[in-house]
Amino acid sequence: MVSIKEGSFIPLYGATSQKPLLVKSFDMDIYPITNAEFLDFIKKNPSYSKSKIKGIFADKSYLTYWASDFDFGKVNPKSPVTSVSWFAAKKYCECQGKRLPTMDEWEYVAMADEKKIDARTKKEFNAYILSWYEKSRMYEKEIGQTFKNYWGVYDMHGLVWEWTADFNSIFLSGESRKDKGNDKNLFCGGASVNASDLMDYAAFMRYAFRGSLKAQYSTRNLGFRCASDVKVQNVNF
Amino acid sequence: MYFKMKKIIIAVLFLAVSFSSCKESDKKSDAAATKKEISDLSIYNLPSKWTTQDGKDIELKNLRGNVLVMVMIYTSCKAACPRLVADMRNIEKKLDASTKRNVKLILVSIDPETDTPERLKTFAIDNQMNHAPWIFLRSSEENTREFAAVLAVNYKKITPIDFSHSNIISVFNSEGELTYQQEGLGVNNDKAIEVINQQARKI
């Protein structure tokens, strides 16, 4: 894990005001969880294997590409595990003494490129993210082959989508008047496409995807990584 | 200070328990296997602990054997929640008198920080809901997030006192399986009533 320093940012979506949002310091996994790592977890927790997992925790597509309960088949062991439900991802992190990152934490880390904490206004950065959205089967690649960002974290863009702890806090269906924000601008489509439009579009894709998820769902391009609160040392009880 | 210590000890114990639960043992199903096993789709698979408005700690599976009608709200809510509560009351009014005892109407807080058991109790009394079949529940933020995930309820804290949330009333059969969901405010509840009464008759 690497440590992510406290900071403020304005999320592109899901924010209710234009005020910067404070993200407290936390630790984040450098890479998404791999097939090999997930297999280790399943060996210790067979109730999360594909044949044993309970229907309330995962739908039928859970680990569909795995050959059997304890065999992920022909995929690269160091490729990210996908087709996992939110419940399974959450349990994995808990068993490591960690947790899933919140959406704000995830987005905060994801806005960094190699050099800057917030590269969201850079045209090349957005073009890179969007070009990945167009590529298929990137989930077959090994972890750590995309760029290392400012924090030392890899694969936030370019490999797989990732679960967040509070993915179910998105409102794009019009349930909440307050959260709708600028969505209509996206749908109506301005004539010009500048860097900030691209930036909005890339983020909108992520938020819209999260908004479409249910915790039991699992899809082939959706993986996860873990985070944890900064470990406090020398605590005197 | 004493209380703080106690809380820390409890937290540490709780952590120890939750970590150890990550290594599954081959233990056979729970001691008294008199009841049939909890089904795959049952909410009784959730291990989370909840506290009622009376300060009583329960697990969801303690409610097994009842039809559960559940909604997620928060007590400081001024917008949709009063209407959701009204929708729940309207359901209560139409329950079959003969099988009503098999139904629990449950309000789950999405704001556990504010909604302490005391606060839930006050809300229950103020709304004349401090009696069966009404139950108010709160848990940790994490357990609440998980429970919402099961119900496909989305919610988000938008200010220190306000939340956006889905308006969904969920019906679970006596085995804790999601049987019906009513979405929206003030919608026609005929179908929900039919399902609830039908499930309650089976018990």
- In angstroms, the separation between the Cα of residue A92 and the nearest Cα of chain B is 9
Q: Is residue A197 part of a domain?
A: yes
Q: Could you say which of 3.65.10.10, 3.30.530.20, 3.30.450.70, 3.40.30.10 is the CATH number of the domain covering B41-201?
A: 3.40.30.10
Q: How far apart are CA A198 and CA A130, in angstroms?
A: 8
pLDDT tens digits for range B13-44: 444 444 545 777 655 544 444 568 899 999 99
- pLDDT at position A14 is 56
Helices (H), A99-217: 103-110, 123-134, 183-188, 195-211
Domain span at A162: 2-229
pLDDT tens digits for range A72-87: 999 999 999 999 999 9
What's the domain count of chain A?
1
Contact list, A45 vs chain B (CB under 8 Å)? 22-24
- Identify the helix (H) or strand (E) that includes residue B179: strand B178-183
Choice between A29 and A187, residue whose per-residue pLDDT is larger: A29
Which of B158, B162, B177, B178 has the highest number of chain A CBs within 10 A, making it the mutation to test binding with A? B158
Q: How confident is the model at residue A99 (pLDDT cuts 50, 70, 90)?
A: very high
CA-CA-CA-CA torsion for A232, A237, B6, B12, nearest 10 degrees? 40
Contact list, A176 vs chain B (CB under 8 Å)? 156, 164-165
- pLDDT at position B98 is 95
Answer whether residue A181 shows pLDDT above 50: no
- In angstroms, the separation between the Cα of residue A111 and the nearest Cα of chain B is 22
String of DSSP letters for A201-219: HHHHHHHHHHHT--TT---
Closest by Cβ to A169, choosing from B5, B43, B155: B155
Q: Provide the chain A residues 50-89 that lie in CB contact (below 8 A) with chain B.
A: 54-57, 86-87
Region B7-18: mean pLDDT is 48
- pLDDT at position A174 is 43
Domain boundaries defined on chain B: 41-201
ipTM value, please give it.
0.80
Q: Is residue A235 part of a domain?
A: no
- Identify the helix (H) or strand (E) that includes residue A43: helix A35-44
Mean pLDDT estimate for chain B: 86
Of all residues in chain A, what percent carry a pLDDT higher than 90? Answer: 65
Q: Do B154 and A169 touch (CB under 8 A)?
A: yes
pTM for this prediction: 0.84
Residue of chain A whose Cα is closest to the Cα of B176: A56
Residue of chain A whose Cα is closest to the Cα of B160: A16
Closest by Cβ to A54, choosing from B24, B45, B166: B45
* Domain CATH number, residue A220: 3.90.1580.10
**Of the candidates B190, B174, B186, B184, the residue with the CA atom closest to the CA atom of residue B69:** B174
- pLDDT at position A188 is 35
